[in-house]
Amino acid sequence: MIIKIHQSLNTERVFYYNEEKVEKNEALFFAFANANCANPFMYEKAFRLNILTQIEDGNNRAKHKCFHLSINPASSDLDRIEPSSLKAEIDALMCKLGYGQQPYYVYRHQDIKREHYHVVSTRIDVNTRRQIKNSNDRYIIKDFIKELNLKYQLETAQSKKMALNLISSSKSAELKESIQQVFSLLNRSNIVSKQEYLDILKASNLEIYESANGQSVLVKDQEGVTLRHPINMSDFNEKAALEKVQFNKTELNLERQNALKSKTEQTIKGLIKNYRFYTEEELRKAFLKNDLILYKVTKNGNYNIYSPNDKMVVDAQFILKKYSVRLKDFALSNDQFYTIIREYTQDLKGKGQSIVDALIDKDKMNKTERNKKPNISFEKLDLSSSNEFSAIVSSHDEKAKKAIQNAVKAHFEYLFSKMDLEGVTTNTEKRYLTNQSGCWDKINRQFLLELTNYWRREEGRNKLKKQGKSHRFNKRKGRRL
């Protein structure tokens, strides 16, 4: 990982450089801090710039007012550091550099094939209006990178081995040796057919090409684009054992199979913690991080797992299919998902609506027995007021838009299913309102509280109606209540 501080005089110029990248869809808003508002990315860029320039206006003597930091992780680094962890590490670095109280914005750039990040802030202290010292910055960054490598095991021998031996690419330095080791592993694995062998090769970006001159090996990406010149099969000491019948050389170890199935499920659950929806590429990276290769089975179109360390195909198709509902053609992180709901609920609040009024079709709510959950009908959601939602769906089709809307709706339905009407008391209401937690939890509790209060009011009205009917009945009988 490379972290560099750029000597930039003009904060406005650096700020607009990053903002223009976002407007061209070459960058995304990634994180922010100390902006004195819920989300500065919801507003116009002039609003964000004004937060920085107002501070700088308090110091007329300083010449170098701009703070501009670039973070350039290797692709293998991003396999090991999740987006939420990277945000936390950037915050930690800014604190060490003396910018823990400063407002700053983080942009994720994708204008080149390598993903990298830019941090924009001001060197004028928000409290003292003095220039923040930077004489020790390079030493702080150097120590920080060392800590990061140790914490996430970056640049370790194992990660280099995985990059070298498992997945070939256009940048593979020792390509022939990498392919040779793939053949050696597969030839000693519990592979049961020629097609399964080819499927795993494809997941390793390799394809065997048959011609009149014999077999050759092509390096292709997952889209089928050829990355390197072909290598003749005769150049390898140990060739791909495609025509041999001697498969199943490794005895099927049921105990090891079960352990790998459990590892497969835990890998997916770890991915779900960061993504509401993920693509095949995110899924592949997650498994590679755990020394597993995801491949697609030609026979049925399902996914399966190969463990090169165990030289074993893991029968994990059932587990992968179980979680396939989150496998999409687009990626949506949980941070983006939560932002959509936050913006949606904040818009409702601005209109003076409650979450329940906006979500529940009260006319279609069927009443059930006392203290039992009603059968509810949710209104169709209108997320157009969410900037995050609009930004995401602008580059995707209608199918993606519908998937996100259904996911938001399903979340509120899930919250409702967890509500315990019978157990809601005044103390529960007090706990809902006073429990100190994040904005996301407050939205969840507010929704439950509003829905609970609504249901109580309905129960109270029903009780009065029953009492009224009972009063009329007893009056006819000449009885006094």
Q: Is 103 left (phi over 0), alpha (psi -120 to 50) or beta?
A: beta
Per the CB < 8 A criterion, the answer to whether 383 and 344 are in contact is yes
Compute the chain's Rg from CA coordinates: 29
SS3 31: strand
Per the CB < 8 A criterion, the answer to whether 381 and 309 are in contact is no
Alpha carbon distance 134, 345 (integer Å): 41
For strands 206-211 and 214-220, give the pairing: antiparallel
Model pTM? 0.53
pLDDT tens by residue, the chain, 481 residues: 889 888 778 899 999 999 999 999 889 999 999 998 999 999 999 999 999 999 999 998 888 899 999 998 877 788 788 888 999 999 999 999 999 999 999 999 976 556 889 999 999 999 999 999 988 898 899 899 989 988 888 864 444 444 446 777 766 667 788 888 888 888 888 888 889 999 999 998 899 988 877 888 888 888 888 877 888 888 888 888 877 544 444 455 788 888 899 999 999 999 998 899 999 999 999 998 888 999 999 988 999 999 988 888 998 999 999 999 899 999 999 888 888 888 887 777 777 666 666 676 666 655 544 445 556 677 677 787 788 888 888 888 888 888 998 888 888 777 766 655 444 444 444 444 444 444 445 555 666 665 555 555 555 555 565 555 554 444 444 444 4
Alpha carbon distance 199, 439 (integer Å): 45
Q: Does domain 2-152 have CATH number 3.30.930.30?
A: yes
Listed residue (346, 459, 330) closest to 401, CA to CA: 330
Cα angle for residues 373, 376, 378 (degrees, 5° grid)? 140
Specify the length of the chain in residues: 481
Per-domain residue ranges for the chain? 2-152, 160-235, 254-326, 332-467
